[in-house]
Amino acid sequence: MDELGAEMYSVHHADLVCSLYKLATNAGAQINFGSRVISVDNETATVTLGSGKTLKADLIVGADGHQSIVRAGLEPTRKEKLDINYTTYLFTIPASRFKDDQEIPRLLGDARWYMWMGFGWGMSMFGIRNNTVLSCTLFMNEEDVDVSVDWKSQVPVKDLGTEKLGLTPIKADSATRVKVDRENVPEYWYDSSGHVIVVGEAAHASLVGTVHSAALGIEDAAVLGRLLSKLKSKHEIKRFLSAFHEIRHPRSERLSASEQQKVDFITLPAGALSEARDESMRLQMNEGQGDWSASEDSFLTRSWEEFRDAFGYDAFDEADTWWVEWGVLFDRINGSDNSVEDDIFSGQITVERERHACTPSI
């Protein structure tokens, strides 16, 4: 990560939400809690709230998650059933519960991600909140379980039967159990009138508990914000929405496919494939491929390219590159005089790239 210049944060979901809330409200955003949108009119760019109140905007950004009501209004949609055959269990454990443990405190001190793979399951672990808390994600191959559960579903960890997987008893109380099935994927993330766009999980399904699930939404926000900061007239909005789709769609597809592959790999059921997996990893370890300085060039190149693509991505740079390549060109073709419409930025808030410290509250 250092060599890529990549910023990688392992953050408690509650702390992330808290940081984003502070950033947005400090910048002037108004957040109305308990205001459910019950319908969206793309033509007039109007939303109706559960209270009956209507709100009109120049642009509606649907960041309303995997069951997005905004996405439902986008046409045409392509039917696509995600082939997810595993369930994700997420839980945190206070590190203090391991004070007499020989291994965990040492692993936490290394500031790395750890991964365990079994037959039909895989688990990752890393430290959060200055390593005072362990964050664990357990992927279980549960093909036969035909349920869709979201972040509100909690199960006692003692009911997971992890001893049967060969794990020592897990010192957590409860786990969040998530399995999200998504069928409708919009062909385009914006509507034909240029009044509506979807971002985050409203736009692209992410694989629960994988490295980029939340990061993809943050990257979306960075790219969309940067593009819209170049607006000179409301007539240009649709062009920028199309640019957003062009920049973000391939990346989310690529990352989702790569994350799906990784989860499939670590949750392989017992059999020839999982045996081959374990054997090849043993071989790699024995040949020093766990140690990059001793690895073969071809292995290094492959690994480097994969890491560079996934983690060396700079969302602001992507938006700037599009602007330099295409935005300026469009301006020239259209003979834009660089003047900005009077009210284009009225009421707009700006959140700059910044690091934000949030006091954790457990």
Ligand X SMILES: Cc1cc2nc3c(=O)[nH]c(=O)nc-3n(C[C@H](O)[C@H](O)[C@H](O)COP(=O)(O)OP(=O)(O)OC[C@H]3O[C@@H](n4cnc5c(N)ncnc54)[C@H](O)[C@@H]3O)c2cc1C
Q: Find the part of the chain contacting ligand X (CB under 6 A) among 199-207, 236-244, 274-282, 312-320.
A: 199-207
Work out whether 65 is an interface residue with ligand X (CB under 6 A). yes
Work out whether 113 is an interface residue with ligand X (CB under 6 A). no
Among 23, 37, 165, 167, binds ligand X (CB under 6 A): 37
Work out whether 64 is an interface residue with ligand X (CB under 6 A). yes
Residue whose CB is nearest to ligand X in the complex, by number: 200
Work out whether 90 is an interface residue with ligand X (CB under 6 A). yes
Cβ-in-10-Å burial (0-12, 13-18, 19+) of 82 comes to middle
Write down the least CB distance from residue 226 to ligand X, Å. 18
CA distance 157 to 89: 9
Work out whether 200 is an interface residue with ligand X (CB under 6 A). yes
Closer of 62 and 118 to ligand X (Cβ): 62
Closer of 59 and 202 to ligand X (Cβ): 202
Write down the least CB distance from residue 285 to ligand X, Å. 28
Work out whether 151 is an interface residue with ligand X (CB under 6 A). yes
Q: Output the six-digit token pair for 40.
A: 């969206």
Closer of 104 and 202 to ligand X (Cβ): 202
Q: How many residues bind ligand X (CB under 6 A)?
A: 17
Work out whether 201 is an interface residue with ligand X (CB under 6 A). yes
Which residues, other chains included, contact 260 with Cβ-Cβ below 8 Å and sequence gap of 6+? 83, 84, 207
Work out whether 69 is an interface residue with ligand X (CB under 6 A). yes
Per CB under 6 A, which of residues 216..255 are in contact with ligand X? 217
Among 11, 82, 214, 358, binds ligand X (CB under 6 A): 214
Write down the least CB distance from residue 293 to ligand X, Å. 32
Closer of 211 and 274 to ligand X (Cβ): 211
Work out whether 360 is an interface residue with ligand X (CB under 6 A). no
- List phi, psi (to 5°) of 228: -70, -20
Closer of 36 and 308 to ligand X (Cβ): 36
Among 73, 118, 194, 209, binds ligand X (CB under 6 A): 209
Contact (CB, 8 A) for 128 and 108: no
Closer of 205 and 236 to ligand X (Cβ): 205
Work out whether 213 is an interface residue with ligand X (CB under 6 A). yes
Q: Find the part of the chain contacting ligand X (CB under 6 A) among 63-71, 79-87, 101-109, 336-344.
A: 63-71
Q: Find the part of the chain contacting ligand X (CB under 6 A) among 200-208, 253-261, 301-309, 314-322.
A: 200-208
Q: Which residues bind ligand X (CB under 6 A)?
A: 13, 36-37, 63-65, 69, 90, 151, 200-202, 206, 209, 213-214, 217
